[in-house]
Amino acid sequence: MITAETDDAVGEDSEGEHDKGEHDQGEHDQGEYDKGGHATSSIAALTLGALGVVFGDIGTSPLYALKESFHIHHGRQLIVNEANVIGLLSLVFWALVIVISVKYIVFVMRADNEGEGGILALTALVRPDGTRARANAGWLVLFGLFGAALLYGDGMITPAISVLSALEGTEIVTDNVTPFILPTAIAILFVLFWFQKHGTAAVGKIFGPVMVLWFTTLGVLGLVHIFEDPAVFRAINPLNGVTFFVNNGMLGLFCLGSVVLVVTGGEALYADMGHFGRRPIKLAWYGLVLPGLMLNYFGQGAMLLADPTKIDNPFYRMAPEWAVWPMVILATLSTVIASQALISGAFSMTRQAVQLGYLPRVKITHTSESEEGQIYVPAINWMLCLACIALVVGFRTSSNLAAAYGLAVTVTMAMTTVLFYRVVRLRFGWSRVKALPVLGAILLIDLGFLGANVPKIPDGGWVPIVIGATFLLIFTTWNTGRSITGKRLAQQNRPLEEFVGTLGDPRIIRGPGLGVYMGSNPTVVPQSLSSHLRHASVLPTTVVVLAIKFENRPHVTGAERIEYDEFGHGVHR
């Protein structure tokens, strides 16, 4: 039996190098790793990498979230006045605090499956046996599968809306660039997906410093305008959010569908946990991301209180005229990074789906020798690329795409809360009295966001629903077929030792040569061997049964790489 280092080679180019010798094994084996497989000695590097991969989605929401909140909703438009601005900012503030800081950072990210995060990790944790399960394992599993399927739709929409929203800032300077926005967006997206093969570590090294500059710029721009009207901090009082709904009624609920745009990166943040680990993500969030976002949103609000006419594009209107072009460039880089969060999440989710038996095996390349969760999945990468380009061509503007954005992630957020309730009851030992008040309150918020996004279905919200339903069908069909096939093969399984005992039968002809037969279970006869004997009634004099066992660590020692047994009658394992 051969022990492999990971699900695939550690990078296509480095596979041969690791097979050649063991001179570097001691160095690798001596490193310290946490339970997620992350090197504990590189927290600073992982935190910088997390900034460049994980927070792009939530970090670029200031580009469009507040603008879309004052956009026309079903024929009605919110008036830009003091009560509405303060009310919306209150909703934004508490959405970031409750949904991201409390729900995801404090609670949900504690629920990892061998270091991996995301809704599929939760799904694995709530199943009766805690390991592989079938599609009929219960409604909670179906919840989790549908939530995971919807994230593929979110992964297609996020890059499209993010890049478009950044490029549309150029229209503030001149209208002459409008015809070039679509082709430029398509080119940027293609380059982004092409670069994925170099891995999230390489991406993070490049994007990390850019995001540090981005969040610092967000904070500075916000502070400049906050100094002009510090009264904007009244929004911290949650009563202003309640008053907003009282004053605006149904229109206030429609606006909540745009407020959710400030937290759409929460699920991507959790899904990317396997790439960097919980601690680096937590440090980056509280140390830079949250302060930068809060200051920028409050700064946009202070500016609108002073000049409501700037609602056409409040983010770019915050910058002085000379800084618009540099801001467009920085925002475009940041939106490319926003896309990275969902792409990396899709890779991690695909790998989990394959491991759990919901997708067929696909090529998965490990791009890091030290971080087990950093992977590249070519098939998913190029599928997302084509889908993003199609959405850009079809919807053409970020405002049109905003209708399709948000619904998928709000459904997933609600399902995550339901699944997490089950996890804390089964795995964390929480009592019902402790779990219901906390997670019940969070679920009400999730359902409020979901309800506000339901009216978007006719205007584009159907897109992620169709994508999610398609992937759910693939998940359940593959798992069901795999289960049926597994049961049939299990009935035909024969212990290897019993089989070896029959090889003395003179009716079995042994010819010269060597045959290698692969199987997933080293204790039973491989199906390929049984089939060969059944049809040919002849076996080579030397039979090798080969099974490959995968380890969740980047390197195994030379002594561990091969396990050998001899059974007699020319049979070896």
Does some domain include residue 65? yes
Q: Residues 476, 529: one domain?
A: no
pLDDT, position 11: 39
Both tokens assigned to 532: 């060969």
Q: What phi and psi, each to the nearest 5 degrees, are found at residue 133? A: -145, 170
pLDDT tens readout for residues 23-56: 333 333 434 444 444 444 478 888 887 887 788 7
Q: What does the pLDDT read at residue 204?
A: 62
Look at residue 448 in the predicted model and tell me its pLDDT.
92
Task: Please say if the pLDDT value at position 284 is more than 70.
Answer: yes
Instruction: Give the separation between CA 262 and CA 372, rounded to whole angstroms.
Output: 30
| Statement to judge: residues 366 and 315 lie in one domain | yes
Secondary structure class of 366 (helix, strand, coil): strand
Least confident residue range of 1-15, 173-187, 465-479:
1-15
User: What is the torsional sign of CA 487, 470, 7, 416?
Assistant: negative
Instruction: Please compute the mean of the pLDDT values over residues 154-170 and round it to a whole number.
Output: 81
d(CA 202, CA 43): 16
Buried b (16+ CB within 10 A) or exposed e, 433-456: eebeeebeebbebbebbbebbebb
pLDDT for 128 equals: 56
- Write down the pLDDT at residue 105: 93
Residue type, 44: A
Q: What is the pLDDT of residue 294?
A: 96
Give, in degrees to the nearest 5, the angle at Cα 141 between 138 and 142. Answer: 90
Q: Same domain, yes or no, for 404 and 508?
A: no
Of 480, 513, 537, which one is at a domain's C-terminal end?
480
Provide the mean pLDDT of the chain. 80
Distance, in Å, from the CA atom of 122 to the CA atom of 100, rounded to the nearest integer, reads 17
295-306 b/e (C-beta count within 10 Å ≥ 16 → b): bbbbbbbbbbbe
| Of 313 and 131, the one with more pLDDT | 313
Mean pLDDT of 64-78: 77
Cβ contact 375:196 at 8 Å: no
Report yes or no on 21 lying in a domain. Answer: no
Taking alpha carbons only, the member of 182, 42, 153, 33 closest to residue 407 is: 153
Using alpha carbons, list the distances in angstroms from residue 417 to 107, 421, 470.
10, 6, 23
The pLDDT of residue 404 is: 77
Same domain, 521 and 419: no
Residue at 5 is within a domain: no
Residue 13 falls inside a structural domain: no
Task: Specify if 10 maps to a domain.
Answer: no
3-state secondary structure (DSSP) of residue 405: coil
Please give the share of the chain, as a percent, with pLDDT higher than 90: 21
> What is the pLDDT averaged over residues 372-398?
85
Which CATH number does the domain housing residue 293 bear?
Answer: 1.20.1740.10
Q: For residue 237, tell me if it sits in a domain.
A: yes
What integer is the mean pLDDT of 449-467? 87
The answer on 438 and 548 residing in a single domain is: no
**290/149 same-domain check:** yes
Q: What is the predicted pLDDT for the residue at 541?
A: 84
Asked if residue 504 and residue 443 are part of one domain, the reply reads no
Is 356 part of any domain? yes
202 and 295, same domain (yes or no): yes
Picking from 445, 480, 515, the residue at the C-terminal end of a domain is 480
Task: Report pLDDT for 551.
Answer: 65
Please report whether residue 192 resides in a domain. Answer: yes
Residue numbers of the domain that contains 564: 496-572
Residues 559 and 452 placed together within one structural domain of the fold: no
Q: pLDDT of 102-149, one tens digit each?
A: 999 999 998 887 777 878 788 878 765 544 444 434 677 787 888 888
Residues 565 and 436 in one domain: no
- Which of 17-31, 57-71, 186-200 shows the lowest mean pLDDT across its residues? 17-31
Q: What is the predicted pLDDT for the residue at 19?
A: 36
Q: How confident is the model at residue 246 (pLDDT cuts 50, 70, 90)?
A: very high
* Domains held by the chain: number: 2
Residue 17: pLDDT above 50? no
Greater model confidence, 535 or 67: 67
pLDDT band at 199 (very low <50, low <70, confident <90, very high): low
Q: 326-364 pLDDT, tens per residue?
A: 998 888 888 777 777 678 778 878 887 887 788 888 888
Residues 165 and 110 in one domain: yes
Going from the C-alpha of 57 to that of each of 44, 154, 424, 484, 489, the distances in angstroms are 21, 11, 28, 40, 45
- pLDDT band, very low/low/confident/very high, at 75 (cuts 50, 70, 90): low
* Residue 7 and residue 364 in contact, taking contact as beta carbons nearer than 8 Å: yes
Q: Which has more pLDDT, 94 or 52?
A: 94
Give 482-491 pLDDT, tens digit per residue: 888 777 776 6
The residue that leads in pLDDT, 303 or 335, is: 303
458 shares a domain with 379: yes
Residue 202 pLDDT grade (very low, low, confident, very high; cuts 50, 70, 90)? low
Mark which of 447, 480, 513 sits at the end of a domain.
480
**How confident is the model over 522-538, as a mean pLDDT?**
78
